Amino acid sequence: MAAPDVDTPALDTTAHAERTPELTQPYRELGLADDEYVRIREILGRRPTDAELAMYSVMWSEHCSYKSSKRHLAYFGETTTPEMKAKMLAGIGENAGVVDIGDGWAVTFKVESHNHPSYVEPYQGAATGVGGIVRDILAMGARPLAVADPLRFGPAEAPDTRRVLPGVVAGVAGYGNCLGLPNVGGEVVFDESYAGNPLVNALCVGAMRTEDLHLAHASGTGNKIILFGARTGLDGIGGVSVLASETFSGDESGGGRKKLPSVQVGDPFAEKVLIECCLELFDKRLVVGIQDLGGAGLSCATSELAAAGDGGMRVDLDRVPLRAEGMTPAEILSSESQERMCAVVRPSDVDDFMAVCRKWDVLATEIGEVTDGDTLVVRWNGETVVDVPPRTVAHQGPVYDRPFARPKEQDTIEADTPDRLARPSTPDELRETVLRMVASPELASREWVTQQYDRYVRGNTVLAQPSDSGVVRVDENTGRGVAVATDCNSRFVRLDPYEGTRLALAEAYRNVATSGAMPVAVTNCLNFGSPHDPGVMWQFERAVHGLADGCAELGVPVTGGNVSFYNQTGEQAILPTPVVGVLGVLDDVRRRIPTGIGAEAGESLLLLGETRDEFGGSAWARVAHGHLGGTPPTPDLARERLLAEILVAASRDGLVSAAHDLSDGGLAQAAVEMALIGQCGARVVLDPDADPFVQLFSESAGRALVAVPRSEELRFTEMCSARGLPWRKTGVVDPGAGALHIQDVGDFGLDELRAAWEGTLPALFES
């Protein structure tokens, strides 16, 4: 406990810090390690002030500094060839990666996690997660086009999931719908490991003209720093509130501030107005640089802007408009109040800038300027409370080489293959298995979730739920557009983090291609347990390598991503969950491939790719036996690439009328979904020489089921054969039938299937 300091003035200025080098500081409460604190003192040549300590502590946190992951993430850079980079206008290190999609258009996309807040306050946690990722995209100078939300929860039937899931979904809906951004995709996954630690990841994609790319930097001495958007309050300052307490002992009875919750409340309306305001500012070319305020608030925005610029920066913190009384400089710097942005503006443009803000009723305040020094100076009523080299805050945080090792239990899991599990074999057993799978929470329709999301707003959504990827039109004149999909089967990753991550990449890539888009870029959100656990670090290291190597094989670059560690309940880490997002391009969205069959008069069903006896980590092993063991299916990325090229070529030439990739649940699930989405019957004919169970439920990668108009069948199959893609005619579409008939298994009435598929989530979550 600190001794009361007789020399404590109201304000801890740099001068005061010089005078009181021995003052005890609560750096540990702020999450800094002993050696990190020592390093800060070395950098500054004195002890940090309260405000500096607040800044370093948030910016050197795992979340902002990537201190445990940096070493490994470097591998993405090492494996990205110049050829893969050709279309990248901005990559890792920027707010979000940017790719050139042709016709003068650039597209940017990114996923972020908001896991922990969403457990504490599901609605607000998820809402502010959406808000944050949208500001990231906006900070690139892009108009946000669409969002997607990969979500993971505890067991579907668990009482706490009934609290968390509806709240998270309502939060994503409440914020995203109010912003006017169509929600075009995502995931809903259930697993015990997420029970105390749901994963709420949010993706946003935006577009801009290539010449309008705004990178976050503060350059040009004399340029003004303008903070605009919401007022700054005590949101999310959590740990930093210890600085405001009279003693650092955490005694809440003292005169200081109570420890505040780190939950923020979002105001989607304020963000919508902020978006329109920013777009008008970009349009009028009134910003030199811009940065969103997310985690770490002003600490992050000012240090990153200054670090990336060519000069220094001075900020007068007392000018920041506040929402709470008596906030200290440290609190203002660390506040995570939402819906704020920070811009660098030429002095001659300040009046015009302010006029645009007034038009949108957005509060804007000049809080400082770019200086010709190389330090970031923050003042409070004229006194200096921060004087630091900005790069030491923003980019030169600690980097750790955490120990990692393959855990021994990995052998046990691998040895426990699904071969020992009883398999259905009679037609009745197979029929019962199909229905049970379709109705399981794992595979049931997500409509109860997705119908809460506006997928139509702005009128450019061409495909959304439940199709394999979301497709949005970017250019109304040419029809150019993009497709996005996110995927991760974390059960595969658990069995083999390297191959499992390649499978996640393969699935997202395939989902994009199945919609007719050529995949061009990859983003990720790496959700893992504690980096202090060598087993978790091993999963992480393997996952990064799997993703990077996979991207190199596919020839698509990783343009950005996000790492979320410490996802665990007690000692129990979540299943390793590297969510992979893939972006694809369509030169004309009119040639997108939908999922539902029955659009053309006569269609054949063709199964593309090869089916092997692969059940490790499959949906069947889980649903039928609660089993997770063995090894996951083997990915073949060269095959995935070929499949994608064929699907894109077929979409160009109008050879396929519907397509669906095969993933969770295998062929049976894909056939059921294509029939239900198209509201059209079909007959599926299995290969008499192969095991029907394997054909129906295996999750071998690299496969898709396509519907081909009879008139195009020959052309299409010749193309597949010529290019070496295995295919097999697996049935015909039968609009008159009103049922899905699977030969040697039985008939499934569409109504029966629909009731099974659509009934599950409402029964679980309707209040």
**Closest CB to Mg ion among 468 and 712?**
468
Binding mask 642-671 for Mg ion (x = CB under 5 A): -------------------x----------
The C-alpha atoms of residue 637 and residue 126 are separated, in whole angstroms, by 34
DSSP state of 682: E
Subset of 473-512 contacting ligand ADP (CB under 6 A): 487, 511
Q: Applying CB under 5 A, what is the total number of residues that bind Mg ion?
A: 3
**Closest CB to ligand ADP among 80 and 562?**
562
Q: Indicate whether 274 belongs to the interface with another protein (CB under 8 A).
A: no
Pairing assessment for the beta strands 518-527 and 558-564 based on DSSP bridges: parallel
Quote the strand ranges of 478-552, DSSP E.
481-487, 518-527
Region from 39-47, 447-455, 490-498, 611-619 binding another protein, contact rule CB under 8 A:
447-455
The C-alpha atoms of residue 524 and residue 513 are separated, in whole angstroms, by 18
Binding mask 460-499 for another protein (x = CB under 8 A): xxx----------x--------------------------
**Closest CB to ligand ADP among 544 and 670?**
670
Q: Indicate whether 468 belongs to the interface with Mg ion (CB under 5 A).
A: yes
| Residue 230 near which of ligand ADP, Mg ion, another protein, none (CB within 5-8 Å, type-dependent) | another protein
Quote the strand ranges of 501-623, DSSP E.
518-527, 558-564, 568-569, 572-573, 577-586, 603-608
Q: Indicate whether 755 belongs to the interface with another protein (CB under 8 A).
A: no
CB of 664 to ligand ADP, least distance (A): 6
Q: Indicate whether 202 belongs to the interface with ligand ADP (CB under 6 A).
A: no
Is the Cβ–Cβ distance between 156 and 200 less than 8 Å?
Answer: no
Token pair, residue 368, equals: 């400082």
Of 323, 532, 612, 710, the one binding another protein (CB under 8 A) is: 323
Beta bridge partners of 577: 527
Binding mask 701-740 for Mg ion (x = CB under 5 A): ----------------------------------------
Q: Which residues are catalytic?
A: 63, 114
| Residue 185 near which of Mg ion, ligand ADP, another protein, none (CB within 5-8 Å, type-dependent) | ligand ADP
CB of 399 to another protein, least distance (A): 34
The C-alpha atoms of residue 337 and residue 236 are separated, in whole angstroms, by 7
**Closest CB to another protein among 85 and 323?**
323
Subset of 307-366 contacting Mg ion (CB under 5 A): none
Q: How many CA atoms, within 13 angstroms, populate the side-chain half-sphere of residue 752?
A: 14
Region from 93-101, 186-194, 310-318, 752-760 binding ligand ADP, contact rule CB under 6 A:
186-194
| DSSP string for 154-209 | S-TTSHHHHHHHHHHHHHHHHHHHHHT--EEEEEEEE-GGGTTS-EEEEEEEEEEE
Beta bridge partners of 704: 608, 661
The C-alpha atoms of residue 466 and residue 485 are separated, in whole angstroms, by 11
The C-alpha atoms of residue 615 and residue 377 are separated, in whole angstroms, by 59
Q: Indicate whether 187 belongs to the interface with ligand ADP (CB under 6 A).
A: yes
Binding mask 157-176 for another protein (x = CB under 8 A): ---------x--xx--xx--
**Closest CB to another protein among 173 and 696?**
173
Is the Cβ–Cβ distance between 614 and 700 less than 8 Å?
Answer: yes
CB of 688 to another protein, least distance (A): 40
Helix axes 268-283, 159-179, angle to 10 degrees: 40
The C-alpha atoms of residue 662 and residue 670 are separated, in whole angstroms, by 6
Q: Indicate whether 335 belongs to the interface with ligand ADP (CB under 6 A).
A: no
Region from 145-153, 251-259, 356-364, 639-647 binding ligand ADP, contact rule CB under 6 A:
145-153
Q: Give the residue among 644, 641, 556 at the shortest CA–CA distance from 83.
A: 556
Q: Give the residue among 726, 547, 630 at the shortest CA–CA distance from 77.
A: 547
Q: Indicate whether 187 belongs to the interface with Mg ion (CB under 5 A).
A: no
466 upstream amide cis, omega within 30 of 0: yes
Of 273, 322, 363, 421, the one binding another protein (CB under 8 A) is: 273
What phi and psi, each to the nearest 5 degrees, are found at residue 353? Answer: -60, -50
Of 449, 677, 686, 745, the one binding ligand ADP (CB under 6 A) is: 449
List interacting residues with another protein (CB under 8 A).
120-121, 124, 166, 169-170, 173-174, 177-178, 180, 230, 233-235, 260-261, 263-270, 272-273, 323-324, 337-338, 360-361, 450-462, 473, 589-590, 766-767
